[in-house]
């Protein structure tokens, strides 16, 4: 069984640019969660999608957004990038909010 | 609100030493509790979990017992190996609609031979 896959694995962007990160959940999992892991700040919850709808979001500004597609894959979009957005972005999937499986993450560097 | 507090690291041990990483939580209702591990350069892997009071989760020699009376879920291992060097995260899910996994800040473990 394929795990949660994220792309790209690494990218570098300039301050003010926009970025899109992608996540494919485990087959059969309908929920996708996004987390930000910034240096020294631990894992911060960003967004939760289930059955194509946003179910909850963490304490992040509106320039962090996303969506979930009919095949349950998901995109995370970050507009107007700031230096402090540099972090590892982790995606997890689950079925019915239990048994989360994480991907390997996308490391974003904003310069 | 819901939160998880872990002991601050780094924790530095010699091979075969006993490991304890403390974790306490605050939650409404009856949460499920987890330990995740993150090896260098990788994502998170579920290490063990417990879903109700007095449950003991175990995996790869690691154990943790869900203690409702002390709101704790301490991680233990009797004899650590160099390959256990990683960051360990305690987490909970409140089992309420609209809530996701809530993590502690993580504890870095470094084991030397």
3-state helix, strand, coil in chain A (%, to 5): 5, 60, 40
**Mean pLDDT for the stretch of residues A17-40:** 93
Of B52 and A13, which is predicted with more confidence? A13
Structure tokens at A56: 């909850």
d(CA A6, CA A13): 17
The distance of A94 to chain B (nearest Cα, Å) reads: 10
Give the A:B interface size as CB pairs under 8 Å: 46
CB-nearest partner of B98 from A56, A102, A104: A56
DSSP 8-state secondary structure symbol assigned to residue A63: T
Task: Categorize the per-residue pLDDT at B1 as very low, low, confident or very high, splitting at 50, 70 and 90.
Answer: confident
Residue B96: which pLDDT band, with cuts at 50, 70 and 90?
low
- How many other C-beta atoms lie within 10 A of the C-beta of residue B106? 23
What is the C-alpha separation between B99 and B94, in angstroms, rounded? 7
Q: How confident is the model at residue B97 (pLDDT cuts 50, 70, 90)?
A: low
Q: Does B32 touch chain A (CB under 8 A)?
A: yes
Q: What is the C-alpha to C-alpha distance for residues B78 and A98, in angstroms, rounded to an integer?
A: 28
User: Is residue B104 less than 8 Å (CB to CB) from chain A?
Assistant: yes
A interface mutation test: which of B4, B5, B43, B51 has the most A CBs within 10 A? B43
Per-residue confidence band for A96, with pLDDT thresholds at 50, 70 and 90: low
């Amino acid at each position: 069984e394929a795990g949660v896959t994220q792309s790209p694995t690494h990218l570098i962007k300039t301050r003010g640019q926009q970025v899109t990160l992608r996540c494919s959940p485990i087959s059969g999992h309908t929920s996708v969660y996004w987390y930000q892991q910034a240096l020294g700040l631990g894992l911060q919850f960003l967004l939760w999608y289930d059955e194509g709808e946003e179910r909850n979001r963490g304490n992040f500004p509106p320039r962090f957004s996303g969506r979930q597609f009919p095949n349950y894959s998901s995109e995370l979009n970050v507009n107007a990038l700031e230096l402090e957005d540099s972090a590892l972005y982790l995606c997890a999937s689950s079925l019915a909010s239990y048994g989360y499986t994480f991907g390997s993450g996308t490391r974003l560097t904003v310069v | 609100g819901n939160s998880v507090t872990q002991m601050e690291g780094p924790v530095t041990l010699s091979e075969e030493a006993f490991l304890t990483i403390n974790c306490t939580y605050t939650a409404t209702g009856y949460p499920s509790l987890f330990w995740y591990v993150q090896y260098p350069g990788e994502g998170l892997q579920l290490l063990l979990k417990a879903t109700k009071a007095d449950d003991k989760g175990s995996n790869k020699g690691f154990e943790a017992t869900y203690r409702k009376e002390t709101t704790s879920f301490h991680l233990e291992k009797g004899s650590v190996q160099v390959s256990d060097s990683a960051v360990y995260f305690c987490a909970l899910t409140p089992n309420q609609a609209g809530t996701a996994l809530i993590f502690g800040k993580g504890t870095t473990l470094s084991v030397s031979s």
